Structure 1
Amino acid sequence: MEPKTLFVFTIFLLFVSSSSETLKKQTYVIQLHPNSQSAKAFPSKLDWHLSFLQEAVLGIEEENEDPSTRILYSYASAIEGFSAQLTESEAKTLKNLPEVVAVRPDHVLQVQTTYSYKFLGLNGPGPSSVWSKSRSGQGTIIGVLDTGVWPESPSFDDTGMPSIPSKWKGVCQEGESFTPSNCNKKLIGARFFIRGHRVANSPLDSPNMPREYISARDSTGHGTHTASTAGGSSVSTASVLGNGAGVARGMAPGAHVAVYKVCWFNGCYSSDILAAIDVAIQDKVDVLSLSLGGFPIPLYDDTIAIGTFRATEHGISVVCAGGNNGPLASSVANTAPWVSTIGAGTLDRKFPGVVRLANGKLLYGESLYPGKGIKKAERELEIVYVAGGDKGSEFCLRGSLPRESVQGKMVICDRGVNGRSEKGQAVKEAGGVAMILANTEINQEEDSVDVHLIPATLIGYEESVVLKGYVRDTVRAKASHGGSFTTAPRYSAATISYRELESTKRSLRAVSFLIPIPSVVDPCK
C-alpha cells in the first residue's frame, strides 16, 4: 500500500472510531428547575420531560424516532427530572438549556442479628427501654433499597403483626419467582427497578452471568440480610451451625418492611436508585434504609444525597451505610447532613479459628464450617497456593484450579474478585478438602466470618504473608485446621468500616453512628 494511501486510510479509521464513540449512548440523569414555567404547557410531567428529548435532542433530523424509547424514568417526587439514553453531544446540548440544572452520567454504587439488640441495650427492663418507648417500631414502614428479599425467610413471618397502615400506597410487584402472595403484614411491599442496569450490561440470562431473578426476589442474600436487620420478626433458636445461638430479631421487630430492589449482579445504578426513592416517597414509607454506596463524591453530584433530600422534605428519615472502604482515611460515603450515616462496629463476640503450621507456628483467624470433613481437616494436610497465569487461580475462581495440584490438599485462596463461599466451592469441585482464605494488602486485617462448604479459616494480611512465605520456602508444606468457638473481645470499629473526613475538610457534617455489624446472625435466604 502506498504511504499516501495508508495515511488516508488511517485517518479514515480514526474518524470512524471517533464517530462511533460520539454516537455511543449512555444513561444520564437530567435535573430540571422545579419551578419552570414551561412545565405548565404540558398535560403531565412525563410529556414535559419527553419534550426535552424531542425538541432539544432529537430535533428535525430525527423526527421519526420516538423520544419515549430513550427515556428510562420520569421522576415525580425525589427530583424534578428524568433519566435517558443520550450520546455525549446530546448531553451537552441539554446541559446548555436554561431550564436544566445538571446533566449527570449514571454511576454505579455497590452494596456495602441474634445478639446486637441485647448488646445495644434495646431490650432493657421496664417502660424506659427503647423498644418499650417505641413499641418495637409498630406502625412504622421501613423501605429498604438493596438486592431484594427472600420472602420465605422466617424473619418476614407476620404472626402477631398488626394490620397494614391505611396510609400505605405501595404494591407487591409480580415478577420471576415472586407473586403478590409473597407479601403479608410484615413484608407489605416489594418492587424492582432494573432499567438503568439493563441498558448498561449484558442480559441477565446470558450464559456467563450470575443467577438473577427479574423480580424483587433476592439472589445474593444481601438485601434479605439488611431488611431483616432493620425490621425482621423474632426467630427463636437462630444460630449458625450452633454458634451465636439466640433469638434473632431486627432493630424494629414490630415495623412493616417494604423492599425496593435496585442492586443487581453488576451493582446499583443511580438512575434505578433515584426511581426507587421516587416511588418510596409516593408509597408513604417512614424510613428509608440504603446499605449501598462508594467513595465520597461532592453533594451536588451525589444521587443519593439529592434524592434523599426530597425524601426528608416529605418527613422520611433516611439511614445510609457509611461504606466499606475503611480503614482508609476520609473514606466515608453518604455524607449529606440530612442522612444518618452508619458505620460497622464489631460485637463483643467473635468466632476464632486456628491454622497450625507443621513448623509449630499458629495463625489465628475466624472460622465457621459444618461438621462434615472436620476430622480430615484437623489432620495435617499439604498446603498449596496456585498462583500465576491468567485464570485467576490465586483467587480460586471456579474452573481455575487444576485438579492434579489441589486433590486432597488444603488450598490458599486470596480474597477478592469472587464470593468468599464461592472460593470454597471452587476448591471442593477441584478435589481440595480444606481452604485458607487469605486477606490481601487491600483487605489488611478485615475479618468476616462465613459458612463454607468445606473447612475454612479466614486469616489477616500479616498472617497470609507468613503463610505464603512458609509455603514458598518449604518442600511439601503442611498445616491443619483448629476448631471454631465463640469468644468475647472488645467492641471497636470494624476494619472495613469507613473513616470520617479530616475536620479541616468538612463543610457539612452528617449524623454518624457506629453499630455492630460483623458476626451478626441474619438470614440470607
Structure 2
Amino acid sequence: MKNPPIIFFAFILHLSASCAQRQVYIVYFGEHNGEKTLREIEDTHYSYLVSVKDSKEEAKASLIYSYKNIINGFSALLTPDEAAKLLEMDEVVSVFHSHPRKYSVQTTRSWDFVNLLDGIGGMNHSNQEELLIKASYGKEAIVGLLDTGIWPQSQSFSDEGMEPIPKSWKGICQHGVAFNSSHCYRKLIGARYYLKGYEAIYGPLNNLENYRSPRDKSGHGTHTASTVGGRRVANASALGGFANGTASGGAPLVRIAMYKVCWQVPGQDQGGACLDDDMLAAFDDAIADGVQVLSVSIVSFNSTPYTEDVIAIGSWHAVKRNIAVACSAGNSGPLSSTVTNVAPWIITVAASSIDRVFTSPVLLGNDMKVEGQTMPPYKLKKLNPLVYAGDAEIPGTTTNATTGRCRNGTLSSKVVEGKIVLCLRGKRNDILKGLEVRRAGGAAIIAVNPINGSGILVNTHLLPGTTIFSNDSATVLNNINNTKSPMATIIPAKTALGSKSAPFMAPFSSWGPIGIEPNILKPDISAPGLNILAAWSEASSPTSLSADHRVTKYNIVSGTSMSCPHVAAAAALLKAIHPDWSSAAIRSTKHQGLTSRIPTMLAPN
C-alpha cells in the first residue's frame, strides 16, 4: 500500500515541473486569406493547440490571443516541447517567446525650431505654415499609437471645432477604469487596451500602478500622442513656467487612436513592460480599424529575425496596406550596433536636439562658472559648502567602482548636511541620486551628464540641482580638492533660445550598423528628441517616482520615444495631402516643403 502515494507524489512533481516550464509563445502563420469567419479562425487556432496538449480543456485554458483580423496567429502558454512541435508544422512560419519590451517613455519649441530652419532663408510665419494649410493641419489623417495610454482631458486633445470622424474609421472606444465612450470623440477617435500577455507573465494587474483601461498612468503615451497631434494650447509650460509658449502637435487636427500595450511593473518606480503578444494584437486591430500612420515608441531587438520580432511583423502587415510606420531607434547610444526596430520597411527614428536649453550654471567660489542645465528654478542662498560624494560616504557602503555615485544609503548625513554634493556619472538615474542627497540633508546636487557628448538631459530634481557636462566634472573636483573651504552656488535655471550648435545628435540616441544585416543603414532619419515638452498624465508625477507628489499638465522628457512621433506627424501631413501615396512613397519622399522643415540629419552608422 506504500507504492500508490509514491507514484501519486511523482506525478505531482512531474505536473509541477511541466507548469513551471510553460511560457507565453507566439505562433505566427502569416496573414489571413479572407475566406474564414472569425469563429472559424479561432477554431483553427484552437485545433493546433489541441494537437499538442493533453486535453481540449488544457488547450482552451492555454490560449491567450487569437489574431483574427489581418495577422494570422495566436499566443498561448506552451512548454518548450509543445512549441517545438508546432514549429515543425508546415503552415507555421515561426514560434517564439513573448518578450517584455521597454518604452524609454507639439512642443513649445521643437516644431518652431524645425520651421526656424526655413526662417534662416527669410521665410515669414505664413510661409512656414504653407505645408500645414495644404494638409488642412492633418484633419483627414488618422494616427495610431502603441504606447502607455492617453490622458483624454488634456487641452491638447480638445476636439473643439473639429469636423466629424472620417467615415473610414472602424475602431472602438473601449470602456475601462476611469475611461468611457465620452472620452472619445472627434480628436481622440479610438482607444483600446491589451493586457492578457502582461497578466500571463506578471499576474493580475495592480490597479494602484495601472488603470485597467486606455487611460495613461505614466505620462509617456500622452506625451507622444500630443507631440503627433496635440491641439494648439497657449501658455503651456512645465513646472512653474519652464518652456513657456504655445504647445502644438506637428499635425494639430490629426485624429488620434491610442492602443495601450505598455504597463507599469509592480515594484518598479520607473519604466514598464510592453508584451509582444499584446503588441501583436494591437497591430492587428489598428490595421483593421483604419489608421493611416502608426507611431511606436517602443524598443525592439536589433539581432532578432524579422519573423520573430512582433514590431517587424506588425509593421510589415501595416505597410502592405499603405500604413506608414515610425519607430524609435533606441536610447543605448553612443555605442555602435545598438539601434532597434531595424526592419527595412520601418521608418527608424533617431533623436537630435533643438535650439533651446535650460541654463543653470554652477558658480564656484565667487569667480569660476561651470555650465549646467536643469529644471525647475529652485533657489539657493548665495554660497554653500561644496563636497564630493566620494568624500562623504558611509564606510563600507561603496566599492572602487561605485564610489562617488550617490547610491541609496551611501551618504553620511554628518558630512552632507547643508552642503552641495557633486555626484559622479553612472547608470543610475540622476533624480534618484538627488533623492539620496536629500535624504542625507544635502542642500543641492551637482550631477554629471551620464553620456559624453554635447547634449544634457535636464532633470526634474526634487531639490535644487543642475547637471554639468562630463568633461567639466574634473574642474569641480579640482576646486574641491585644492580649496581649503570649497563653496558654490547654483544659479536658478532659465530658458534660453537660439543655441547655435543645434541641431546635433542626442548623445543617448542609438547607432548602427544593425546586427541582423549590417548592409542596411539604420536609423533612417532624426528628429527632435532632447528635452521635449508635451502633454503629460495628471496621474503621474514629472519624474514618475512614488516619492514625487508634484502634478504637471506638461512635462519635458528626452528619448527617441519623443523623436518618433515628430516623424509620424510629418507622415500624417503627407497622408493628408496625398491619401493615395503608398507607405514606401511616404518613407522615401523628398516632398517639396517638408524635408526643409524636418532636421533630417542621418544618425551615424
What TM-score do the two structures reach when normalised by structure 2? 0.73
Partner residue in 2 for 1:492 = 504
1:172 is aligned to 2:170:
no
**TM-fit CA distance, 1:331:** 2.4
Give yes or no for the alignment of 1:379 onto 2:386: no
**CA deviation profile, 1:74-114 (whole Å, cap 9, x unmatched):** 11245321111111222112111222111111123221311
Deviations 1:352-394 (A, max 9, x none): 22123349654322111144xx033x43234352666389997
Contact 1:447 1:460 in 2 (8 A): yes
Which residue matches 2:250?
251
The offset of 1:302, in angstroms, is 2.1
Distance 1:51 1:18, change over 3 A: closer
CA distance in 2, matches of 1:425, 1:436: 12
2:149 corresponds to 1:148: yes
Q: Which runs of 5+ in 2 are unaligned?
A: 1-9, 119-123, 265-271, 538-605
Match of 1:31 in 2: 28
1:48 matched residue in structure 2:
44
Q: CA 1:105/1:445 → structure 2, altered by over 3 Å: closer, same or farther?
A: farther
Distance 1:264 1:215 in 2: 11
Aligned to 1:7: none
Check the 8 A contact 1:149/1:221 in 2, yes or no: yes
What residue number does 1:451 align with? 460
TM-fit CA distance, 1:299: 2.6
CA spacing shift, 1:128–1:250, aligned 2, 3 Å? closer
Residue 138 of structure 1: how far off its partner (Å) = 0.7
Distance 1:433 1:69, change over 3 A: farther
User: 8 Å contact 1:383–1:479 — kept in the other structure?
Assistant: no
Asked whether 1:480 is paired with 2:489, we answer: yes
How far has the Cα of 1:403 moved from its partner? Answer: 5.0
1: CA distance between counterparts of 2:211 and 2:485?
Answer: 45
Select between 430-439 and 103-112 the one with higher mean Cα deviation.
430-439
1:86 paired to 2:78: yes
Aligned: 1:119 with 2:113: yes
1:418 Cα offset (Å): 6.6
> What's the offset of the Cα at 1:330?
2.8
Measured at CA, do residues 90 and 444 of structure 1 come closer, stay the same or move farther in structure 2, by a change above 3 Å?
farther
Cα 1:244–1:43 shift into 2, 3 Å: closer
Q: Please name the residue that 1:311 is paired with.
A: 318
Amino acid of the residue matched to residue 253 of structure 1?
Answer: P
Once the two structures are overlaid, the 10-residue window that deviates more, 39-48 or 480-489, is 39-48
Q: Match for 1:408 among 418, 423, 428?
A: 418
Aligned residues: 499
The answer to whether the 8 A contact 1:393-1:401 is kept is no
Does residue 389 (structure 1) correspond to residue 397 (structure 2)? The answer is: yes
Instruction: For residues 144-199 of structure 1, give each alpha carbon's deviation from its aligned partner in whole angstroms, at most 9, with x where no partner exists.
Output: 11111122221111112211112222222222222222223211222111222222
Does the CA-based 8 Å contact 2:449-2:457 persist in structure 1? Answer: no
Tell me which residue corresponds to 2:543. none
The aligned amino acid for 2:75 is: S
Identity of aligned residues (%): 36
1:478–1:52 Cα change, 3 Å? farther
TM-superposed CA distance for 1:417, in Å, is 6.6
1:225-264 to 2 correspondences below 5 Å: 225-240=223-238, 241-264=240-263
Q: How does 1:255-404 map to 2 (within 5 A)?
A: 255-265=254-264, 266-297=272-303, 298-358=305-365, 362-371=369-378, 374-376=379-381, 378-383=382-387, 385=389, 389=397, 404=414
- Distance in 2, matches of 1:482 and 1:90, equals 63
C-alpha distance after superposition, 1:294-333 (max 9, x if no partner): 4412333321111111011222111111111221223222
Distance in 2 between residues matched to 1:295 and 1:504, nearest whole Å:
9
What is the Cα deviation at residue 277 of structure 1? Answer: 0.8
Verify the 8 A CA contact 1:370 1:452 in the aligned structure 2.
no
> 2-side partners of 1:398 and 1:456: how far apart?
17
**Residue 108 of structure 1 pairs with residue 117 of structure 2:** no
Q: Is the 8 A contact 2:386 2:480 kept in 1?
A: no
> What CA distance in whole angstroms lies between the structure 1 residues aligned with 2:432 and 2:182?
32
CA distance in 2, matches of 1:95, 1:68: 19
| Unmatched tracts of structure 1, length 5 or more | 1-12
Relative to 1, partners in 2 of residues 1:477 and 1:17: Cα closer, same or farther, differing over 3 Å?
farther
- Check conservation: 2:230, 2:251, Cα contact below 8 A: yes
Alpha-carbon distance change, 261 to 53 in structure 1, aligned in 2, over 3 angstroms: same
Q: Using the alignment, how far apart are the partners of 1:364 and 1:390 within structure 2?
A: 29
1:159 and 1:41 mapped to 2: Cα distance? 40
Counterpart contact for 1:95–1:102, Cα < 8 Å: yes
Structure 1's 175 and 418: CA in aligned 2 closer, same or farther, altered over 3 A? Answer: farther
Query: Mean alpha-carbon deviation: is it higher for 150-159 or for 485-494?
Result: 485-494
Q: TM-score, normalised by structure 1?
A: 0.84
Which residue matches 1:5?
Answer: none
Structure 1 position 233, deviation (Å): 0.5
Report the AA paired with residue 456 of structure 2: D
For 1:462-511, what per-residue CA distance to the aligned partner results, in whole angstroms no more than 9, with x for missing partners? 33455467667878754321232314222111111222328995444568
Q: Residue 230 of structure 1 aligns to a residue in which SS?
A: helix
SS of aligned partner of 1:268: strand
| Contact persistence 1:352–1:367 (CA under 8 A) | yes
Alignment map for 1:196-211 (pairs within 5 Å): 196-201=197-202, 203-205=204-206, 211=209
The verdict on how the C-alpha distance between 1:119 and 1:219 changes in structure 2, with shifts beyond 3 A counting, is same
Whether contact under 8 Å (1:384, 1:405) holds in the other structure is no
The answer on whether the counterparts of 2:300 and 2:309 sit within 8 Å (CA) in structure 1 is: no
Contact 1:445 1:461 in 2 (8 A): no
Q: Secondary structure at the match of 2:387?
A: strand
Structure 1 segment 428-439 matched on structure 2, within 5 A? 428=438, 431-439=441-449
Q: Does the CA contact (< 8 Å) of 1:344 and 1:518 recur in 2?
A: yes
Q: CA RMSD in A?
A: 3.6
Structure 2 residue matching 1:44: 3-state secondary structure:
helix
Instruction: Give how far 1:67 is off.
Output: 1.8
| Letter aligned with residue 410 of structure 1 | I
Pair 1:181–1:43, CA change in 2 (3 A): closer
Comparing 177-186 with 467-476, greater Cα deviation is found at 467-476
Contact 1:290 1:321 in 2 (8 A): yes
Range 313-322 or range 451-460, more displaced: 451-460
2:213 to 215, 219, 223: 215
* Corresponding residue for residue 4 of structure 1: none
